[in-house]
Structure 1
Amino acid sequence: MDSSCVIVIPIYKSELSFYEKIALAQCGKLLSDYDIVILKPDDLDISNMQIGFSYSEVSFPSFYFKSVFSYNDLMLSELFYEKFLNYSYLLIYQLDAFVFKNELKYWCGLGYDYIGAPWLREKEFPTLFKKTKEKLRSYLHRRYNLLDKQGRPDIERQLYNYVGNGGFSLRKVKSFYNVCIQEKELVENYVGRNSSDYHEDMFWTIEVNRKKKRIKTPNYKEALNFSIETAPERAMTLIKGNMPFGCHAWDKNIHFWQPYFKEAGYQI
């Protein structure tokens, strides 16, 4: 087994959907050279679930799995990262993710603290002036957390071409653990928030780096080779038709991904 990285698969229910079974099978097919951990509620028994590969279990109190917001709290807890300090990296592999090839060692070797699918715009701006203007506005919104007309952070503008989504993401364990310990006040501002403005990947990609660089990430064009989520057609064009390491939320773009999944042996 390669001990440089552990695969962490959150499972919170006893019955998986057809698509979730595909995601799980592909993980075992391509990434079984690594330790695989099922992250689950402590009251969930998965012994009768047909996993199809060797794995171990890590359990946390069930309240962390009741909603996306409580799960966010777990992803912001040093107790979670403490479980994996024996590894350099962990790969969060939610069951709406899919891997096309085993490039995990390559991505771990680049030394980034965090990599996830960038929030790519559907279309490029029509002029260089417009692109430059919007890039500056996005920077200012990220840097100063500027509010929109409703008095809320303009999340869409902050996320513009930024890295990246947490559902299929590579995380340097020690870096995340240290931030949870050293930046408790910053973390606490996100814990217990029932709002999409405070998702954990927002914290790790924007909030933690708002005033100074704490978490090292690639630029969005490099990250597209790691994973694609939004605007898949444009994303594939930007990486010149090469297959990324994986993708996330592929069930939202079924028609686009169908031929690629068929090539991998799955009908969706």
Structure 2
Amino acid sequence: MKELVTVVIPILNPQINPTEEMMLHHCLETLHKYPLIFIAGEGADLSIVREHNENIDVIYFPNKYFQSRNDFAGLLLMEDFYDRFNWCDFLLVHELNSWVIKDELYYWCKQGYDYLKSGPVYDSVTKSKDGVISRTLGLNDEEKRLFGSGYDDNGLYLCRIERMTKTLKAKNKEAYAYRHDDKLPNADSVFWDIEANRFWPYLRKPTIPVRNYFAQNAANLNKNKTLPFAITGISRANIQTLPYFKALPEAD
């Protein structure tokens, strides 16, 4: 019988900073009842991570996918990545810029969605253009870059493995183009949000209000009264300004 969900923590840079350590410690503590796997480049020194848990499980992938977040995006657009976790139905990809507020992971796995992720955050110029973006006809290169920039530091999503691989098989040429577009930021998020359901709904995705109950970017958190399952977009630069973290002793 398959596991329902596995938590995957990517380590792009083994020299994680104190804020990322805080995210890591909280993830290990809050999601301890689920299988948890670290992924890293071949030969990566994870000694700092092992200080938090000596018995971590690690799956290594080629180093080329761990040079930057945009390189990592290419790995998330490959069938082989999802096939490595075929013992479970869902993956929660949890980068170290995210914080699970309350363990509702089982609940979200049972809601019937194939892909859940916090929405993009735009600057004022990009936001004004979003209304004319056509998700049916597709985006031109500039629109893709603008859309992709809204997913900077947006590092948490829940997905159903079977549907992700089915989508990648059906859109093999498109996924290849996204993986090899060096000028496109956060190509994985653009592909899954825009390309995956063009012409045919391969993924069941939530409405915007439901998505906001799942996760919110830290940049939008002050605008919402109800805390979601998780916050993403957390960094050394903003953690001390977020009301939620001001009340936590770990942030002192």
**TM tier, smaller:** 0.7 to 0.9
Q: Which amino acid letter does the alignment assign opposite residue 142 of structure 2?
A: R
What amino acid sits opposite 2:226 in the alignment? Answer: N
Q: 8 Å contact 2:168–2:175 — kept in the other structure?
A: yes
Residue 250 of structure 1: how far off its partner (Å)? 1.9
The two structures have a TM-score, normalised by structure 2, of: 0.86
Instruction: Please report how far the alpha carbon of residue 206 of structure 1 lies from its aligned counterpart in structure 2 after TM superposition.
Output: 0.7
Structure 1 pair 210–220 and aligned structure 2 pair: CA distance change class (3 A): same
1:244 to 228, 238, 244: 228
Structure 1 residues 153 and 106, CA gap change in structure 2 (3 angstroms):
same
- The alpha-carbon distance between structure 1 residues 180 and 59, as it changes in their structure 2 partners (threshold 3 A), is same
Query: What secondary structure, in the 3-state scheme, does the structure 2 residue paired with 1:217 have?
Result: coil
> Residues 232 and 256 of structure 1 are in contact (CA less than 8 Å); yes or no, is this contact kept in structure 2?
no
Mapping of residues 1-268 of structure 1, within 5 Å: 3-47=3-47, 49-52=50-53, 54-119=55-120, 135=131, 137-138=132-133, 141-147=134-140, 152-153=142-143, 156=146, 167-196=155-184, 199-229=187-217, 230-234=219-223, 236=224, 241-251=225-235, 253-257=238-242, 259-267=243-251
Could you tell me which amino acid in structure 1 is paired with residue 244 of structure 2? Y
Aligned-residue offset at 1:108: 0.5
For the Cα contact (< 8 Å) 1:114–1:169, is it kept in 2? yes
Offset from partner CA, 1:63-86 (integer Å, 9 cap, x none): 111122221110001110001111
Whether contact under 8 Å (1:69, 1:195) holds in the other structure is: no
Instruction: Give the fraction of aligned pairs with identical amino acids, expressed as a percent.
Output: 24
Query: Which amino acid counterpart does residue 142 of structure 1 have in structure 2?
Result: R
Give the whole-Å Cα distance in 2 for the aligned partners of 1:183 and 1:154: 17
| Amino acid corresponding to residue 115 of structure 1 in structure 2 | L
**Uncovered stretches (5+) of structure 1, i.e. residues with no partner:** 124-130
Contact 2:145/2:184, CA 8 A, preserved across alignment: no
SS in 1 for 2:250: coil
TM-superposed CA distance for 1:119, in Å, is 2.1
Q: Which has the larger radius of gyration?
A: 1
- TM-superposition CA deviations, 1:148-193 (whole Å, max 9, x none): xxx722654x68xx99986100011111112222321121111121
Opposite residue 177 of structure 1, the aligned amino acid is T
Contact 1:28 1:53 in 2 (8 A): no
Q: Distance in 2 between matches of 1:100 and 1:232?
A: 12
Judged with a 3 Å threshold, the aligned counterparts in structure 2 of structure 1 residues 210 and 198 are, in CA distance, closer, same or farther, namely farther
Deviations 1:182-236, CA, capped at 9 Å, x for gaps = 32112111112112356111101111112221111111111111111142222x1
TM-aligned CA deviation for residue 30 of structure 1: 0.6
Q: Is the 8 A contact 2:119 2:211 kept in 1?
A: yes
Distance 1:45 1:224, change over 3 A: same
> 1:155/1:69 Cα in 2 relative to 1: closer, same or farther (>3 Å)?
closer
Q: State how far apart, in whole Å, the 2-side matches of 1:53 and 1:194 are.
A: 36
Structure 2: gaps (5+ residues): none
Q: Give the deviation of 1:267 after TM superposition.
A: 1.4
Deviations 1:31-85 (A, max 9, x none): 0000000001111132563133753111101111112222111000111000111
